[in-house]
């Protein structure tokens, strides 16, 4: 059998243990194709899950007139304790009204340290990236992205619920949350909507996992209220009240 494109052989006969068998060989165009695919996978790994717009959103640049001071304190605590936070897989679910610094906070957290594998992306950007891979890489690309999202030391998903409400997006979001949950790695999610809305949209299965691995921070412009912190995991609760929630003293 020969390749229809380059005319090179795609099979050859080899002798093995005294028998002659047929094995597949890679022709030059197939080799080129594989190499290109490999390059695209590398590009996905390196760039496409990072949005450049968040690079200047650091705690140093925090605007205290616009951004909530309590969110700032919470973020600083989160970063300072990240080593333990990562070990315990403690995430944040930051909910509340538009325009009080939730996104900025999540970006600043994502910039915590050079060399820590962090993925920080809006939910729309994330789903777009998955879709893009369908045309370039097929299932393999999706698998690669899910693996990347599942294994990052920290995953920040900004603006949940702003994506199109489709069965497809809901199933992708479940897969991502579930893989973070299984790997026991921290996830920071921001959304303008309360938990009840999240449950209606994504179902209990997804939202229960998200809640179990997160401290819920409800941000209401000038006040933050901690409404739920892993009630079924006493040690984590204690950890959270001693470390992160110190910032609530400033209320």
Q: How far apart are CA 172 and CA 145, in angstroms?
A: 11
Least distance in angstroms from the C-beta of 5 to Zn ion: 5
Helix (H, G, I), strand (E, B) or coil at 112: coil
**190 neighbors 158 (Cβ within 8 angstroms):** yes
Q: Of 6 and 112, which CB lies nearer to Zn ion in the complex structure?
A: 6
Residue range at the interface with Zn ion (CB under 5 A); choices 2-10, 114-122, 142-150, 201-209: 2-10
Q: How far apart are CA 194 and CA 124, in angstroms?
A: 19
Q: Of 3 and 137, which CB lies nearer to Zn ion in the complex structure?
A: 3
The size of the interface with Zn ion (CB under 5 A), counted in residues, is 5
* Residue in 2, 5, 53, 162 binding Zn ion, rule: CB under 5 A: 5
Tokens of 244: 């992160």
Does 29 engage in binding with Zn ion (CB under 5 A)?
A: yes
Q: How far apart are CA 197 and CA 189, in angstroms?
A: 14
Residue range at the interface with Zn ion (CB under 5 A); choices 21-29, 31-39, 164-172, 187-195: 21-29
* E-assigned strand segments in the chain: 11-16, 19-24, 91-96, 118-122, 154-160, 187-191, 214-220, 223-229
Q: Of 3 and 25, which CB lies nearer to Zn ion in the complex structure?
A: 3
Q: Of 29 and 137, which CB lies nearer to Zn ion in the complex structure?
A: 29
**CB-based closest residue to Zn ion:** 3
Least distance in angstroms from the C-beta of 25 to Zn ion: 10
* Residue in 16, 22, 23, 27 binding Zn ion, rule: CB under 5 A: 27
Q: What is the DSSP letter of 100?
A: S
**CA dihedral for 46, 84, 173, 106, sign (positive or negative):** negative
Does 6 engage in binding with Zn ion (CB under 5 A)?
A: yes
Binding site for Zn ion (CB under 5 A): 3, 5-6, 27, 29
């Amino acid at each position: 059998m020969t390749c229809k494109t380059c005319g090179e052989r795609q099979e050859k006969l080899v002798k093995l243990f005294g028998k002659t068998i047929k094995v597949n060989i890679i022709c030059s165009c197939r080799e080129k194709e594989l190499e290109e695919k490999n390059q695209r996978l590398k590009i996905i790994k390196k760039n496409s899950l990072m949005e450049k717009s968040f690079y200047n959103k650091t705690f140093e640049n925090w605007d205290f007139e616009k951004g909530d001071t309590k969110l700032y304190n919470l973020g600083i605590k989160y970063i300072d304790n990240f080593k333990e936070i990562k070990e315990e897989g403690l995430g944040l679910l930051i909910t509340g009204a538009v325009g009080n610094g939730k996104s900025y906070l999540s970006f600043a957290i994502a910039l915590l340290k050079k060399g820590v594998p962090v993925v920080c992306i809006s939910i729309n950007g994330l789903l777009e990236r998955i879709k893009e891979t369908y045309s370039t890489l097929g299932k393999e690309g999706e698998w690669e992205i899910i693996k990347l999202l599942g294994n990052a030391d920290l995953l920040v998903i900004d603006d949940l619920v702003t994506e199109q409400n489709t069965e497809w997006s809901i199933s992708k979001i479940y897969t991502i949350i579930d893989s973070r949950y299984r790997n026991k790695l921290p996830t920071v999610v921001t959304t303008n909507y309360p938990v009840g809305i999240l449950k209606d949209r994504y179902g209990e299965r997804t939202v229960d996992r998200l809640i179990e691995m997160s401290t819920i921070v409800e941000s209401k412009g000038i006040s933050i209220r901690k409404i739920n912190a892993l009630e079924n995991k006493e040690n984590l609760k204690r950890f959270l009240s001693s470390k992160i929630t110190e910032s609530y003293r400033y209320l």
